[in-house]
Chain A
């Protein structure tokens, strides 16, 4: 055991010594990683500067002193806890309801073999590809008719449907790969359609659905245009919209925008870290059968 590791290490060392290319590759990967992280690092760097420090020394310099001025400015101008609550509510509800809706619809299309299912899936795919600007007038008047303008539920309904359409498309194509023999076996054992869905199909699709939940959370979190129109009242604003109120026409508090962006990023980062394992499991789910 120890010999194998030892010899393997030796081989690795020899390969390292033998090939300077490895160092080149390492350096290239390092530079690539740094470039990918650069925008985020700049955001962090500038969030902790005072405005005059930023103005005099530019965005690339190290802060002369760490200052929380920008964060204070942001929290004074925006009701961040409220915006955060609205965003979390919308994103969580949309993520779970969207996937549930998609699962139910996909079951009919992917397993149930409804007539014209390809056409239905095509229409749903088209719905997800439509630019939101094209939908905005009907959505606005619809929300108004329901009395849901300036209520987070208008946005929840819209995105449950839009994300649900995508989930239907994706899940129904994954469902068509579920072996028919498995479903037939379940039917032979006396499972009805509902039991087949919840006890056979849903567990198989669980990894894919977990990934969809994460995606829908992040996509909905970042949505801007539809919430902007439907949630004009500051009491129902989401985080990206609250952030946009910091931009003037001819002036901008750049350090405050940095601080605000950083605060707004944190929930998505936490969500991603929490679900990162499900995410990688879901991506590789199809690999082992």
Chain B
């Protein structure tokens, strides 16, 4: 049994085996070495570091404003460093419920507004109510009206009333960017003042061989059609009708105005070719490129692409909101919140206050970021000043209709599928409104706990 003979012919095998052992040994060695240098330790929660988790592009207006806010904050709090961490919008949406339930959480987080996101975090107790601090710091004087609607959530996580859980810094609104060269070429000298005039202009644009509005309807990121549809509904809606729909407060009859007329008009627009063809596979990025390439006369989008259009367009351009509309799509930006498990809450409140300070707000404003508490007159660039002034007008008139997917969970996917089907001609206004009623009512019953 114990014969040493067997070892001799096995040399090559032994070599391979020892190579493998070597590789494993190397890995284990690496493991140990890395563990040793991996213990830098997490600093969240210690008294001298404020951890801020956010997801804005550092080159955006808000990102630049917050970089300045870090400097100001560290000046005002000697010995405290701000750890400004960047994540992504999608990561926050998918993970906030898990990561905020941990023991080691950031002191301030930027979170997504809406019942499905912020509402859930508030209802599950993962965020602290901020009503007391809002009054103490006077944030409710800076964040007013519809800008505050998605900062407050009730015990079911429904927006519009209840305690404050978040504080926004900026706002956003949806507009029609237009190519001035195409408008001039077609002979449109004055901007339309009503939807009917806009339709007449679009007939002329179509005749000249351009697509009137660059749009998209992919179920992944093809939001333009949804915005066209909801803008047409908002144009004829009253404040009360939109609030009932948004805040689940009254019965919504989708077979009545403004839903029926807006949706039928939307179908008409698709059939007449106002929004182009073959939209099912396009996303908002491609719709933007189609506009910037000069193929389409207009693009419906919000201020998210303002900066890009200003830098990248090779033609003269302008913008206007849906002409003659009662209400315009738009809302506050995303919100600052303080996790229930945060350890430096006092510093967290100071941080929110710093981002709402005149200096930070005016910096955000000068970069085109639509601040809620900035002074529009301090903006030098006339283009950005006008654009911000239009926003201020909408805030003052309480004219925002928000985004249509906020009220019930799963709404975004449902609407997007129907937008795609309508754009393909596989769904009509009647069918969509019927389905919409059923989906909304079911979601509402779930959300309000009935």
Contacts and interface: CB of A to CB of B under 8 A. Distances in A.
Nearest to B314: A56
A97 B285 CA distance: 42
A122 B189 CA distance: 73
A247 B103 contact: no
B24 A100 contact: yes
B87 A56 contact: no
Nearest to B106: A232
A153 B38 contact: yes
A190 to B, nearest CB: 5
Given A56-B292, A58-B293, 7 more contacts: A73-B59, A77-B58, A199-B13, A229-B99, A233-B42, A235-B40, A248-B89
A97 B4 CA distance: 32
A283 B10 CA distance: 24
A189 B21 contact: no
Contact of A202 (B20, B89, B284, B307): B20
A100 B17 CA distance: 12
B6 A186 contact: yes
Interface stretch (B145-153, B298-306, B359-367): B298-306
Interface in B1-60: 1-6, 10, 13-14, 16-17, 20-21, 23-24, 26-27, 30-31, 34-35, 38, 40, 42, 44, 53, 55-60
B55 A245 contact: yes
B103 A248 contact: no
A207 to B, nearest CB: 10
A190 B4 CA distance: 8
Contact of B21 (A77, A93, A198, A233): A198
A247 B31 CA distance: 33
Interface in A186-215: 186, 188-191, 198-200, 202-203, 206, 209
24 contacts: A52-B312, A55-B308, A56-B294, A56-B312, A73-B59, A77-B57, A96-B24, A137-B98, A140-B99, A156-B31, A189-B3, A189-B5, A190-B6, A198-B17, A202-B20, A225-B94, A229-B98, A232-B53, A232-B95, A232-B99, A244-B88, A246-B88, A248-B304, A250-B223
Interface of A: 51-52, 54-59, 73, 76-77, 89, 92-93, 96-97, 100, 136-137, 140, 144, 149-153, 156, 186, 188-191, 198-200, 202-203, 206, 209, 225, 228-229, 232-235, 241, 244-254
Interface string B295-339: 000000110110110011110000000000000000000100000
Contact of B98 (A140, A150, A191): A140
Given A96-B24, A100-B24, A144-B102, A244 B85 contact: no
Contacts of B16: 202-203, 206
B153 to A, nearest CB: 20
Given A206-B20, A250-B304, A228 B94 contact: yes
A51 B302 contact: no
B90 interface: yes
Contact of B95 (A149, A152, A202, A229): A229
B91 A241 contact: yes
A52 B311 contact: yes
Contacts of B86: 77, 234, 245
Report, nearest first, the 8 A-B pairs whose CB atoms are least far apart: A250-B304, A189-B6, A55-B312, A96-B27, A251-B304, A55-B292, A52-B312, A203-B13
A214 to B, nearest CB: 13
B23 A96 contact: yes
For the residues of A in contact with B, the DSSP-based class is helix
A51 B311 contact: yes
B288 interface: yes
A188 B2 CA distance: 9
B20 to A, nearest CB: 6
Given A77-B57, A149-B104, A152-B38, A190 B1 contact: yes
A249 B87 CA distance: 12
Contacts of B57: 77, 246, 248, 251, 253
**Which of B10, B20, B21: most chain A CB closer than 10 A?**
B20
B389 interface: no
A8 to B, nearest CB: 37
Contacts of A200: 13
**Which of B31, B56, B88: most chain A CB closer than 10 A?**
B88
**Which of B57, B288, B289: most chain A CB closer than 10 A?**
B57
Contacts of A140: 98-99, 102
A250 B221 CA distance: 9
A137 B3 CA distance: 54
B14 A199 contact: yes
Given A57-B293, A96-B24, A100-B24, A89 B34 contact: yes
**Which of A203, A234, A253: most chain B CB closer than 10 A?**
A203
